[in-house]
Structure 1
Amino acid sequence: MDQSPDRHPSLAGLRVLVASSEAHPLIKTGGLADVAGSLPIALCDLGHDARLIMPGYPRAARQLRASTALCEVAIAGAKGAVRIIEGRLPDHEVPVYLVDAPEYFCREGNPYTDLSGRDWGDNAERFLLFSRVVAQLAAGLPALGWRPDVLHANDWQTALAPALLHGVPERPATVFTIHNLAYQGLFDRATFDRIGLPLALWSVAGLEFHQRMSFIKGGIVFADRVNTVSPTYAEEVRTVRGGCGLEGLLRQIGSRFSGILNGIDYRDWNPATDPLIL
């Protein structure tokens, strides 16, 4: 990682873009949403300029405060228009960018599955599009008038953003967090060919994983730093039993990988004031 002062300013007042496929209270299926919803708030409280970007699900769009359309984003091969909607969290002034792409995200219910519980058949296309928009914002979109110092990607749905930024001049520093290694974003070679990623990414040193495409490898291989939700889990996923086939890679990246214990938002989860346990 480039350690020049221009690329990496002091830790005071960093501009941080947090990318997640879900965030509480806008939409939630698991613990990722809790982290993505509360971490930007905590970073702002520490004096950083943290902003959240996530897909423009209808449920999220309905809850966004003070929303306005900022610009249209050019994404090669995208179905329909792709716009950036800016707003605020329902209960905080943290800026939120929604990727408004109705052909991909205007679906009621679970972000990842249809009403029968089956994965959406175009999940690879959906979250590649999301990662492409994240990468564009991270590299700087003039219409936003804002450019992050750090991109924080989370789980497989955003893992291609660090890969797409690899080699981009003056890109931000990239951090990739694994919340649950069991969900890796695995697709077949035909999907890789169909969605139009650079052929160079099909290699053991890229996204190829036992003759399949692994989104999560994009984050592990190409991010400047990789972490997970606790030091204990970091040790677990570097073992055969807990590594889901990626233990060798996680051991190989050495000190780039660490475990940081998840925090909690004491405004919502405070044992000192919880009436159910007092």
Structure 2
Amino acid sequence: MKILFVTPECAPFVKTGGLGDVAAALPKALRALGHEVITLMPAYGGMAPGGELKRVIAVHRTARWPDAQLLEVVQPSGEHFVFLSCPYAFGDVKSPYGPSGAGAPAHAAVPFGLLSHVAALIGTQRSPIGWRADIVHANDWPCGLAPLYLRSERDASAGTAVARSVMTIHNLAFQGVFPIEAIDLLDVVEPYRGVEGVEFWGQLSMLKAGLQQADAITTVSPTYAKEIQQPALGFGLDGVLRARSQQLHGLLNGIDTDVWNPRTDGLIAERYGADNLSLKASNRAALRKRTGLPDSRQPLLGLIGRLTEQKGIDLVIAGAPRLLAKGAQLVVLGKGDARFEEALAQLAAAHPRQVHVTLGFDESLAHQIEAGADSFLMPSRFEPCGLNQMYSQAYGTPPVVTATGGLADTVSDVTRFPQQGTGFVMPRADQPAFDQAMDRLLKLWADGKAWESLQRRGMQRDFGWKNAAQQYADLYTELLATSDPRSENTRPAA
């Protein structure tokens, strides 16, 4: 199959979260299955695409869209990219997304409207690159109009081959909402200007448009697929998702084991595996040296991520005094809300021998934390999939997680299942649950043999992309085999 994977970010070019990693790994896994995949993403200002530039293709100005160019680039590893270069849309943008939501101007919708427009074009006979996709796989709200444009194209050109569309939700909380006036800038035709398309409570939502019009919807774990159909985590779109539940599939993300593998990781102090787990101690020592923490017999805890309430960082900050009093150490890498950044900085200043905080992101430090920490903290209030809890298990760093979304699907609780558990699962994201989980962790830590068994069980799990990629390929095949992919003949939700 010919698959266009359209995304606002992709590691290593631009990465703000898990989507950046997925956009790098899933197309590679699909290519390994024999499919032809091109990744389309913006060329943000100052970004260096690297690789071999094959050609530059003009996308000429129209009544709605500005002049743009497509840079076709092949990376040394074989990955095929098309970068959308448009000074008007992305020339001054250093990272994805930009303003949306309350107060965003209508014209702020144009850059990602253009990305969706170009993605849809590549799924038609008018493809500017001379290659027509069978499947356009759109990711999150910046690509949400692509399924709508493809649906509109199918309406206007009956009998002409038009790509099928898949819309993936990586985090439903971000919806690409703009003033309804933006509709006149985005080439949206009737009947898709109303509630069956972009309109959302008197505003325009790019994500809602994609959910309404995609031939199939996926999200990144089976549990999250169920959660987003309920008001608590539906963020106002649970009704849309319930109405389209037959087209909604929960497909668990994988991890790129070429990048995240303690046996081959070039960013850690010493490589190791389940059969020579003692070498993990060298990584613990290296992490302590790098962060200025002294040696200790108590566990070294790691945390990497956005410093927000969603991620439960407030629970970690509030619970830290109890942990530090028991001798534990904490290394944090991340950036987020100013109040949490300040609280962590104060904690590190008050406990320089037990707490180290790096505000920002550092890829090599992230790998060293996964390899050197004894346990990884991830007490999220909601987590569509999450990748760090899978990285942590692969690195023998048992995670502390909440029973939500992909965390519930990938971590089993060692207290409930002593012979099968791979981490510590909190039943809910509140302070008592976090403190109790940490007490359980410290108790098990004191039993070296039981802790090592816990580590090995996690390291023996297979979180690679092969299985997930095959599930996506099966879904694509199913869509192409149906005359109307939005019929009730599509398979039930996972």
Give the TM-score of the pair, scaled to structure 2.
Answer: 0.50
CA-to-aligned-CA distance 1:230-263 (integer Å, 9 cap, x gap): 0011111011000000001101112100110001
| Residue in structure 1 matched with residue 171 of structure 2 by the alignment | 180
In structure 1, the partner of 2:78 is: 93
In terms of mean alpha carbon deviation, does 47-56 or 167-176 score higher? 167-176
C-alpha contact 1:53 1:98 (8 A) present in aligned 2: yes
* Structure 2 CA distance for aligned equivalents of residues 173 and 194 of structure 1: 25
2:255 equivalent in structure 1: 264
- Please list the CA deviations of residues 9-50 of structure 1 after superposition, one character each: whole Å capped at 9, or x if unmatched: xxxxx1111000111111111111111111111111111111
CA RMSD for the aligned pairs? 2.2
Asked which structure has the greater RCO (Cα within 8 Å, sep 6+), the reply is: 1
- Tell me by how many angstroms 1:196 deviates: 4.1
Count of aligned positions? 260
Secondary structure in structure 1 of the residue aligned to 2:53: strand
- Is the 1:79–1:103 contact (alpha carbons within 8 Å) kept by the matching residues of 2? no
AA at the equivalent of 1:128: G
**CA deviation after TM superposition for structure 1 residue 269, in Å:** 1.1
- Name the counterpart of 2:110: 125
Whose helix proportion is higher, 1 or 2? Answer: 2
Q: In the alignment, what sits opposite 2:58?
A: 72
- Alignment of 1:38 with 2:29, yes or no, is no
The residue correspondences of 1:202-213 to structure 2 (distance < 5 A) are 202-213=193-204
| Equivalent residue, structure 2, for 1:84 | 70
CA deviations 1:63-98 (Å, max 9, x no partner) are: 331114332123523565211110023x52111001
- Judging changes above 3 Å, is the alpha-carbon distance between structure 1 residues 224 and 79 closer, same or farther for their aligned structure 2 residues? closer
In structure 1, which of residues 23, 26, 32 is the aligned counterpart of residue 13 of structure 2? 26
Counterpart in the other structure of 1:158: 143
Decide whether the 8 Å contact of 2:64 with 2:186 is kept in 1.
no
Partner of 1:190: 181
Specify whether residues 217 and 103 from structure 1 end up closer, same or farther in structure 2 by C-alpha distance, changes over 3 A only. same
Structure 1 distance, partners of 2:110, 2:127, is 25
Q: Do the aligned partners of 2:121 and 2:127 also contact (CA within 8 Å) in 1?
A: no
SS in 2 for 1:50: strand
Distance 1:201 1:137 in 2: 21
Relative to structure 1, the CA distance from residue 231 to residue 151 in structure 2 (aligned partners, 3 Å threshold; closer, same or farther) is same
Task: Return 5+ residue gaps in structure 1 as ranges.
Answer: 1-13
Tell me what 1:232 maps to: 223
- Secondary structure class of the residue paired with 1:58: coil
* Preserved CA contact (<8 Å) 1:17 1:50: yes
Give the letter for the 1:82 counterpart. A
Structure 1 window deviating more from structure 2 (37-46 vs 197-206): it is 197-206
Q: 1:110 to 1:93 in 2, by over 3 A?
A: same
Q: Is the 8 A contact 1:112 1:123 kept in 2?
A: no
CA gap 1:140/1:100 in 2 versus in 1, 3 angstroms: farther
**Unaligned regions of 5+ residues in structure 2, if any?**
155-159, 266-270, 272-370, 373-394, 396-494
In structure 2, the CA distance between the partners of 1:244 and 1:45, relative to structure 1 (3 Å rule), is same
Letter in 1 for 2:39: L
Letter in 1 for 2:21: D
Residue 120 to residue 69, structure 1, CA distance change in 2 (3 Å)? farther
Query: Are the equivalent residues in 1 in contact too, given 2:8–2:97 (CA < 8 A)?
Result: no
Give 2:67's aligned amino acid: A
Relative to structure 1, the CA distance from residue 142 to residue 185 in structure 2 (aligned partners, 3 Å threshold; closer, same or farther) is: closer
CA contact 2:8–2:143 (8 Å) conserved in 1: yes
CA–CA distance in structure 1, aligned partners of residues 123 and 147 of structure 2: 10
Give the Cα–Cα distance (whole angstroms) in 1 for the partners of residues 19 and 105 of structure 2: 19
1:110 maps to which residue?
Answer: 95
Which residue of structure 2 lines up, in the alignment, with residue 221 of structure 1? Answer: 212
Distance 1:146-1:187 versus aligned 2 partners, 3 A rule = same
Cα distance in 1 for residues equivalent to 2:150 and 2:142? 15
Match of 2:132 in 1: 147
| 1:138 and 2:129 aligned | no
> Do residues 252 (structure 1) and 243 (structure 2) align?
yes
% identical aligned pairs: 35
